[in-house]
Amino acid sequence: MSSEQDHLKETDTEARFEFKKEENSAVRSDKGLTEEVIRMISEDKDEPDWMLERRLRALEQYQNMPMPTDWPGQPDLTELDIEEIVPYIRPDVDKREGVDDWTELPDEIKDTFDKLGIPEAEKNALSGVGAQYESEVVYQNMQEQWEEKGVIFMNMDRAVQEHPELVKEHFMTTCVPPSDNKFAALHGAVWSGGSFVYVPEDVTVEMPVQAYFRMNSEGMGQFEHTLIIAEEGSEVHYIEGCSAPKYGTHNLHSGGVEVFVGEDAHVQYSTVQNWSKNTFNLNTKRAICEANGTMEWVSGSMGSKATMLYPCTILKGRGSTDTHITIAFAGEGQDIDTGAKVYHNAPDTSSTIESKSISKDGGRTNYRGLVHIADGAENSSTAVECDALMFDNESTSDTMPYMEIEESKVDVAHEATVGKIGDEDIFYLQSRGLDDDDAKKMIVAGFIEPITEELPIEYAVELNRLIELEMEGSLG
């Protein structure tokens, strides 16, 4: 491929994410968090009383919790003023149903997701698609072959209305309660949109389902909630994509993810995030895994001003397994603090954590992880590998693993490497006909291969292109 073709492809990829639309909302809340704002959100959604009560309890917990400031080396959150964030913007679409026909979307929303490639991805690679714009899911569609097998894939607002017993039992109760941390409480108070996925016993959804979350308006917060319930012996792969254009004021993304993995079930949760560099990305993601269940987290974190994200799995049942594969990229002015948490609460459980990070132009990446093996969780094993690649002397990369081992009959391994791109590596590739930039891209592509090989080909290609753009400083 010629350099001109490469440039055109990269320019096209950049344009897909950096465009912005004029806000055209049907409902917009006031800034900040008050009981009046919470009640307005709940009323606009026609929610049952029990959900409003949960929101108000979460608000009270949020107000009583301090902002996290005492973690060693954590990102600076002093510029984040939640009282200046607009927590709820409903675009001009049906406030619960959205649409299931792409052509029925308002032109400005349809154009947004057309540019992001969502319709094409749905046709070629996905069992179902949900698209969220601002605070609401505007489009949701599931292939009939999965609906006929009892698979449910709908937006969370609709699930509250149509599957209240399932939602009441699982929503922010045992997996991610609002008391978990300040931003979980914030999320519980103002959550809006997101995905509800239910896979019945012994059903395998052979193609991934995807949700794409787009923040378009300046100074807003997006708080989607994803709830996945995989019954015994089932299997599903869920892919989440996120993006936002750059503005002069800060945006906040504080989503919540809860995954329930039944006995012998298998869930893969993949994320490709490309938030703009004015966005604070502060999420809480957790899974509970029953006996012989398997949970896999695959995530690529690009963009954002600051990210604090540590997907967690509680290995509750004997023989359950957890895998984390993550890649983080930090450029100038970025602090990407990511990692993983695993709780081995049963015997014969196993976990693997593989973390890759890249930093350049003074950016900072950090792996922050926790592995806890409880007393009685004998014959459990964990392996943690953290690799960091730096482009220059101004960039930094830290590794903060923490292990709590309360059982003696276990196998624990940890390995960490930090290094710069070597001049000899660049020289070798240049001697084979590559220029300096292409040589660096090839080294990085090899470095992140463990994550890209876990993604469907369309998303692996996109992740590589995004990282190439970040390396060039093209994404803002």
CB contact set of 145 (below 8 Å; sequence gap of 6+): none
The pair of three-digit structure tokens given for residue 68, joined into one six-digit string? 């996290």
Phi first, then psi, for residue 316 (nearest 5°) are: -85, -35
Q: Give percent above pLDDT 90 in the chain.
A: 45
- CA dist., res. 275 & res. 78, Å (int): 19
CB contact set of 225 (below 8 Å; sequence gap of 6+): 156, 171, 187, 191, 192, 193, 194, 255, 256, 257, 258
- CA dist., res. 164 & res. 50, Å (int): 10
Phi first, then psi, for residue 311 (nearest 5°) are: -55, 140
Helices within 171-210 (DSSP H only): 182-190
Confidence of residue 457 (pLDDT cuts 50, 70, 90): low
Q: Give percent above pLDDT 70 in the chain.
A: 73
pLDDT the model gives residue 8 = 41
Mean pLDDT within 377-406: 92
- CA dist., res. 56 & res. 83, Å (int): 17
The pair of three-digit structure tokens given for residue 343, joined into one six-digit string? 């709780």
Question: What does the radius of gyration of the chain's CA atoms come to, in whole angstroms?
Answer: 22
Q: Is the pLDDT of residue 130 over 80?
A: no
Closest residue by Cα to residue 358 from 451, 268, 454: 451
Q: Is the pLDDT of residue 273 over 50?
A: yes
Q: What is the pLDDT of residues 211-267, one digit of tens each?
A: 776 666 556 678 989 999 999 999 999 988 766 555 556 788 899 999 999 999 999
Phi first, then psi, for residue 92 (nearest 5°) are: -80, 65
Confidence of residue 360 (pLDDT cuts 50, 70, 90): confident
Note the pTM of the prediction, 2 decimals.
0.83
One-letter amino acid of 102: W
Mean pLDDT within 302-321: 93
Q: What is the pLDDT of residues 169-198, one digit of tens each?
A: 999 999 999 999 999 999 999 998 888 999
Confidence of residue 22 (pLDDT cuts 50, 70, 90): very low
Contact 279, 244 (CB under 8 A): yes
- CA dist., res. 314 & res. 341, Å (int): 8
Contact 406, 375 (CB under 8 A): yes
Q: How far is CA 62 from CA 49, 70, 189, in A?
A: 20, 17, 8
Q: Is the pLDDT of residue 14 over 90?
A: no
Average pLDDT, the chain: 81
Contact 331, 350 (CB under 8 A): no
pLDDT the model gives residue 2 = 46
Positive or negative torsion for Cα 282, 214, 261, 336? negative
Tell me the HSE value of 270 on the side-chain side, using a 13 A CA sphere: 20
pLDDT the model gives residue 217 = 54
Q: What is the DSSP letter of 362?
A: T
pLDDT the model gives residue 190 = 95
Chain mean position to CA 253: 10
Q: Is the pLDDT of residue 34 over 90?
A: yes
Closest residue by Cα to residue 158 from 45, 305, 284: 45
Closest residue by Cα to residue 374 from 343, 349, 351: 343
pLDDT the model gives residue 215 = 62
- CA dist., res. 399 & res. 337, Å (int): 10
Q: Is the pLDDT of residue 301 over 50?
A: yes
Task: Give the strand pairing for 195-199 and 128-133.
Answer: unpaired
Confidence of residue 146 (pLDDT cuts 50, 70, 90): confident
Phi first, then psi, for residue 103 (nearest 5°) are: -70, -15
Helices within 422-476 (DSSP H only): 423-430, 436-447, 449-452, 457-472
Q: What is the pLDDT of residues 91-104, one digit of tens each?
A: 665 544 444 555 55
Confidence of residue 307 (pLDDT cuts 50, 70, 90): very high
- CA dist., res. 357 & res. 447, Å (int): 9
Can you tell me whether residue 459 is helix, strand or coil?
helix
pLDDT the model gives residue 138 = 40
Mean pLDDT within 3-20: 46
Q: Is the pLDDT of residue 63 over 70?
A: yes
Least confident of 115-124, 187-196, 296-305, 415-424: 115-124
Q: Is the pLDDT of residue 23 over 50?
A: no
- CA dist., res. 244 & res. 252, Å (int): 10
Q: Is the pLDDT of residue 121 over 70?
A: no
Domain boundaries, the chain: 18-427
